[in-house]
Amino acid sequence: MTMDETRRGWTIVFLIFFFMLINYADKAVIGLSAVPIMRELGLSNTEFGTLGSAFFLLFSLSGVLVGFLANRIASKPLLLILALVWGAAQAPMAGTVGFTTLLIARIVLGTGEGPAFPLALHAVYKWFDDTRRTVPTSIVACGAAFGAGIIAPGVTAIIVLFGWHAAFATLSVASLLWAVAWGLFGAEGRLDARSGRAGGAAFRRPYARLLLSRTALGVFIGGFVAYWAITLNVVWLAAYLTKGAGFTPLEAGWIIVLPSLAQIVMAPTLGAWSEWLVRRGVSSRVARGVLGGCCLVTAGVAMVLFPLVSVAPIKLLLVVLAFATGSVFFTLGSTLIGEISPPSQRGALLGITNSIHALAGVVAPVLMGAIVDVAADPVSGFRTGFLAAGAFVAAGGIAAMALAHPEADHAAWAERIDATAD
């Protein structure tokens, strides 16, 4: 890459950082607004959990469909369309709405946001080769951390001062402003046209072989449990902190910042470490797969422990580890998928991967809501829900570590090619 291309590539990375910030703020606003929404609309925990799950109803389907489109259509117009959909979907909540309108709006928003992360990475990967992708990926992931937590106090302040309708309206305007900036400054990378394993950008493998590879299966499992944790963070952490841990809404808004701050430190730091290891000859299995799996196990153990601890500083530390550490897997797992995907199929593979991960979002919020509703009180309900979720996340991390092995997959594919040639 020339110096000008490098500068342009990093410009794209930071534009997409803000794209992901808005994306995750859109997800987080429903959780930050949980108490006033439930009060205004008279919702039970299960009904509110249904709102959280509705966001993911068509999320995975749209992620797959747009992923395949991304193999044939430039990333710039696709990202522009997504941002416009987000703005339109959030706009109705500026006024008075009922449960049905809010439910439909969340489904539409989820449909528009399903392809966001894989398409964002696909756009970035057109500017950086495999050995240089981990840090840009971690910066994109940091945009998600900012949207999910860093801006939480600001969004919470809007909710407290002006009402939850104003928070949704603010995010609608933010999406439209980003669309204008992307239309002016967004650009398409050309790396895929010049590179690609075993024959360049036109080289392809059967999708069944890619999807059933041990690396893909490991990333699917690890990402699914990581998404389970992040969905509980976005939808239920604020409610847990106020109903189950005794904090005020404003205190909860500041506490939610902590996991995001940790993500912002951990994602680029561990991403850079992983990239450093790969460049010095450490296998991708270890530098990406094992490292990512260890992060998930740490998150799961912390999630099991924090409902059991009453000492506030220790509880908050465990909350940070539970909801920050596992998110590192999205950076490392996406890089693993990029490593095994031919460039001409990468958009679809990233879209399928993210869609499989997001299936956790369909189940996790409503399941947690049902557990809280049947419990004797919110404290015991949240404790039971987070204990079960933590064990699930840790088990998924172990499975991801055992399975992810891109070197073995490439060796197996090479043997198949050699056998066919013979």
CATH number of the domain to which 407 belongs = 1.20.1250.20
Residue percentage of the chain with pLDDT more than 70: 94
Cα distances from 240 to residues 42, 47, 91, 256, 274, in angstroms, run 18, 16, 28, 11, 34
Per-residue pLDDT of 135-174, as tens digits, reads 888 888 888 778 766 777 788 889 989 999 999 999 999 9
Average pLDDT in the 259-270 region? Answer: 87
- Per-residue pLDDT band for 420 (boundaries 50, 70, 90) equals low
Neighbour count for residue 370 (Cβ, 10 Å):
17
Q: Is residue 47 part of a domain?
A: yes
Number of domains the chain is built from: 1
Report angle CA 189, 193, 198 to the nearest 5 degrees: 130
Using only C-alpha atoms, what is the Rg of the chain?
A: 21
Q: Is residue 345 part of a domain?
A: yes
Nearest to 239 by CA among 255, 224, 227: 255
Does the pLDDT at position 207 exceed 90? no
Structure tokens at 10: 């990093």
- Per-residue pLDDT band for 416 (boundaries 50, 70, 90) equals low
Distance CA 33, CA 78 (A): 30
Q: Is residue 422 part of a domain?
A: no
CA 273 to chain centre: 21
Neighbour count for residue 7 (Cβ, 10 Å):
10
Q: Residue 340's domain spans which residues?
A: 3-186+205-412
Average pLDDT in the 318-327 region? Answer: 93
Can you give the pLDDT at residue 133?
Answer: 81
Q: Is residue 418 part of a domain?
A: no
First to last CA, the chain: 38
Can you give the pLDDT at residue 351?
Answer: 84
Average pLDDT in the 197-210 region? Answer: 67
Q: Is residue 373 part of a domain?
A: yes
Task: Evaluate whether 285 touches 294 at the Cβ level (below 8 Å).
Answer: no
Can you give the pLDDT at residue 422?
Answer: 47
* Sign of the dihedral through C-alpha 120, 10, 147, 185: negative
Q: Is 310 exposed, middle or buried (0-12, 13-18, 19+ CB in 10 A)?
A: exposed
Task: Evaluate whether 12 touches 184 at the Cβ level (below 8 Å).
Answer: no
Task: Evaluate whether 76 touches 182 at the Cβ level (below 8 Å).
Answer: yes
Q: Transcribe 204-265 into DSSP letters.
A: ---HHHHHTSHHHHHHHHHHHHHHHHHHHHHHHHHHIIIIIS---HHHHHHHTHHHHHHHHH
Helix spans in 282-377 (H): 284, 291-305, 312-324, 328-340, 343-374
Average pLDDT in the 314-332 region? Answer: 92
Distance CA 330, CA 336 (A): 10
Task: Evaluate whether 331 touches 196 at the Cβ level (below 8 Å).
Answer: no
Distance CA 155, CA 171 (A): 9
pLDDT, the chain, mean: 87
Can you give the pLDDT at residue 24?
Answer: 83
Q: Is residue 417 part of a domain?
A: no
Q: Is 422 exposed, middle or buried (0-12, 13-18, 19+ CB in 10 A)?
A: exposed
106-137: b (≥16 Cβ within 10 Å) or e: bbbbbbbbbbbbbbbbbbbbbbbeeeebbbbb
Q: Is residue 197 part of a domain?
A: no
- Per-residue pLDDT band for 198 (boundaries 50, 70, 90) equals very low
Per-residue pLDDT of 334-383, as tens digits, reads 899 989 988 888 888 888 998 899 889 888 988 998 998 898 888 899 99
Average pLDDT in the 13-24 region? Answer: 92
Structure tokens at 70: 């991304």
Per-residue pLDDT of 287-314, as tens digits, reads 999 999 999 999 999 999 999 998 888 9
Structure tokens at 106: 């969340």
Choice between 361 and 2, residue whose per-residue pLDDT is larger: 361
Can you give the pLDDT at residue 147?
Answer: 79
Choice between 298 and 69, residue whose per-residue pLDDT is larger: 298
Can you give the pLDDT at residue 200?
Answer: 43
Among the listed ranges 187-191, 312-316, 318-322, which one has the minimum average pLDDT value?
187-191
Nearest to 75 by CA among 114, 14, 10, 124: 124
Does the pLDDT at position 85 exceed 70? yes
Q: Is residue 419 part of a domain?
A: no
Nearest to 43 by CA among 164, 170, 172: 164
How many helices, marked H, and strands, marked E, lie in the chain? 22, 0
The set of residues, in sequence order, having a beta carbon less than 8 Å from that of 414 and lying 6+ positions away, is none
